Copies of this chain bind each other. A is one copy, B any other.
Amino acid sequence: MFDSIHEECGVFGIYSNVNQNVAATVYYGLYALQHRGQESCGIVVDRDGVFTSHKDIGLVNEVFDHETLAKLGDGNIAVGHVRYGTTGGGSRANCQPIEVHHIKGTMAVAHNGNLTNAAELRSELELKGSIFHTTSDTEIIAYTVTRERLTHPSIEEAISAAMDRLEGSYSLIIMSPMKLIALRDPRGMRPLCYGIRPDGSYIVASESCALAAVGAVFVRDIEPGEIVVFGREGVKSITDHCKKATPALCLFEYIYFARSDSVIDGVSVQEAHLKAGEYLAAEHPVDADIVIGVPDSGIDAALGYSRASGIPYGIGFVKNKYIGRTFISPGQSEREDKVRIKLSPIESAIRGKRVILVDDSIVRGTTSGRIVKLVREAGATEVHVRISSPPFVSPCYYGTDIDSCENLIACHHTCDEIARIIGADSLGYLSLDHACHLAEGAPHCAACFGGGYPTKIPTDTGKNRFECPISR
């Protein structure tokens, strides 16, 4: 139910030695990454060094049709992007991948992440006469790489040099006329992996689910700080260059962003969801008759809770799949209407039962409150809410767009108060400790859950956010 949490995009690229319908491949790949961004999308195709592109506001199936795909034509390299949806904002100028012409040719850049030193870099560039068409970090990255290119013999060396200047999170796919280049920031804060197809073409994507969608076999994740170059000579890895840092993949990927069929840095996302449910059962047990998940966000964790507790798993809701993004409400209360139309409790599964209701988060509390009410109206005798993540208490500076602190219910209320507000008989959050164990292995960034920031953070973000004074 993360209606108010957004991440900044999915990236996808293909490199082939021969011309083929690369636009079609990216198109399919973007479908598989659509959950990472629904505001805008775009594809840039490289055919013999000439770039052709199509980008617009909208979902993949709104922006691309037979005509626009045909216009893109064949090529041997291509890169695509999906961008997240803010309310109101979002102009065409900010659609990605961005394409720029520079002294050595052309370049297309697709970016997932957020720079923490964007303001400094921008001001520095402007002082040298640079003009900006957009307000996005991606243009800053393109400039930084272009400037380094003037003094470096190859695009990958320019990128390596630029990485010493960029701070924050960035998983990038950069297309030059001859090469496709994939890289992750030194902490690997956003995911990126690549695979290979039977025809020998290489696929790079934010998540492994997009490799499968285009018939590619997963090879491996791009390492934090690594640059991987796909070109005529095959695959080249550059690791021994920029300053090193402790890995800090965003924990949120496992909890909310990534699709449950993806595997990131060696961990299955569905396994992480199931494990969250199991931990919840251990941390917050309760006597009940059925465990149901809020679709689709709480389904996996509900099953995990059921497995660990032995309480039967049930299917408690029908989700109306015809409610599109353009749903309009002619009535008084649009939001309330939307929840009611979108989510219908199944009375025969619920009536007369003590229900454990699992979801992945509570943001403002209003939606959760409405769902609890629906479950009670369907005849539940008790409703115990279990949340498969810790409460949000701090802003994110790495690309996750959480509501401002004043709107986050967890910043102002104790767990018991929240239970009362949403009308639950009991409420339990996953502990930060357990959350950090969802994906064993490398350390993660859990800053938004109060786990501390892995980098210096901007002093003036212009975003009117501040670290939440409340801690639990």
Number of interface residues of A (CB under 8 A): 81
How many monomers of this chain does the complex have? 4
Residue of B nearest to A95 (CB): B92
- Shortest distance from the beta carbon of A279 to any chain B beta carbon, whole Å: 17
User: A226 in the interface, Cβ–Cβ < 8 Å?
Assistant: no
Closest Cβ of chain B: how far from A37's Cβ, in Å?
A: 11
Residues of B within 8 A of A464 (CB): none
From B146, B212, B215, B330, give the contact of A131 (CB < 8 A): B146
Residues in chain B near residue A328, CB distance under 8 A: 61, 64-66, 69
Which among B129, B263, B271, B318 is the interface contact of A147 at CB below 8 angstroms? B129
CA A142 to CA B31, docked complex, whole Å = 38
**Interchain CB contact under 8 A, A213 and B344:** yes
Please report whether the interface of chain A is mostly helix, strand, loop or mixed according to DSSP.
mixed
Which of B132, B133, B213, B330 is close to A66, meaning CB atoms less than 8 Å apart?
A: B330
Say yes or no: is A126 at the interface (Cβ < 8 Å to chain B): yes
Task: Say if the beta carbon of A209 comes within 8 Å of chain B.
Answer: yes
Report yes or no: A260 in contact with B330, Cβ–Cβ below 8 A: no
Knowing A100-B133, A127-B150, A132-B102 touch, does A348 contact B61 (C-beta < 8 A)? no
In the bound complex, residues from chain B placing their C-beta under 8 Å from that of A403 are none
Point out the residue from B131, B260, B307 that lies within 8 Å of A318, measured CB to CB.
B260
Contacts of A327 in B (CB 8 A): 61
Q: Given that A131-B101, A261-B346, A341-B32 are contacting pairs, would A27 and B147 also be in contact in the complex, using a CB cutoff of 8 Å?
A: no
| A34 interface residue (CB < 8 Å to B) | yes
Q: Which residue of B lies closest to A314 (CB)?
A: B303
Most buried by B among A32, A123, A215: A32
Is A337 part of the contact surface with B, judged by Cβ < 8 Å? yes
**Contact flags A11-43 to B (C-beta < 8 A → 1, else 0):** 000000000010110011001101100100000
Question: Which of chain B's residues has its CB closest to A101's CB?
Answer: B132
Interface centre among A64, A132, A326 (most CB of B within 10 A): A132
Q: Is A259 an interface residue (CB 8 A)?
A: yes
A161 at the interface (CB under 8 A from B): no
The residues of B that contact A299 with a CB separation of less than 8 Å are 315
Across the interface, do B322 and A321 meet the contact criterion of CB distance under 8 Å? no
A326/B213 contact (C-beta < 8 A), A128-B129, A131-B143 known: no
Q: Does B261 lie within 8 Å of A347, measured CB to CB?
A: yes
Q: A61-B324, A131-B146 are in contact. Are A348 and B263 (CB under 8 A)?
A: yes
Given contacts A101-B132, A261-B345, A346-B260, contact A23 B330 (CB under 8 A): yes
> Counting CB contacts under 8 A, is A59 at the interface?
yes
Q: Closest CB of chain B to A381's CB: distance in Å? A: 18
Q: Are A268 and B324 in contact (CB under 8 A)?
A: no
Among A100-129, those with CB < 8 Å from B are 100-103, 123, 126-129
Q: Is the CB of A322 within 8 A of B59?
A: yes
Q: In angstroms, how far is the closest chain B Cβ from the Cβ of A88?
A: 10
- Top-8 shortest CB links A-B: A268-B348, A103-B126, A100-B131, A24-B330, A129-B147, A101-B132, A34-B322, A261-B346
Beyond A66-B330, A102-B132, A213-B344, list 16 extra A-B contacts (CB 8 Å).
Answer: A23-B330, A28-B337, A34-B322, A59-B322, A65-B326, A69-B330, A92-B92, A99-B133, A101-B132, A261-B317, A261-B347, A263-B348, A268-B346, A303-B314, A307-B312, A324-B324
19 of the cross-chain contacts (CB-CB < 8 Å) are A27-B330, A34-B320, A34-B322, A61-B326, A101-B126, A101-B132, A103-B127, A103-B129, A129-B147, A209-B344, A215-B340, A259-B318, A260-B346, A270-B348, A271-B348, A300-B315, A303-B314, A313-B313, A321-B321
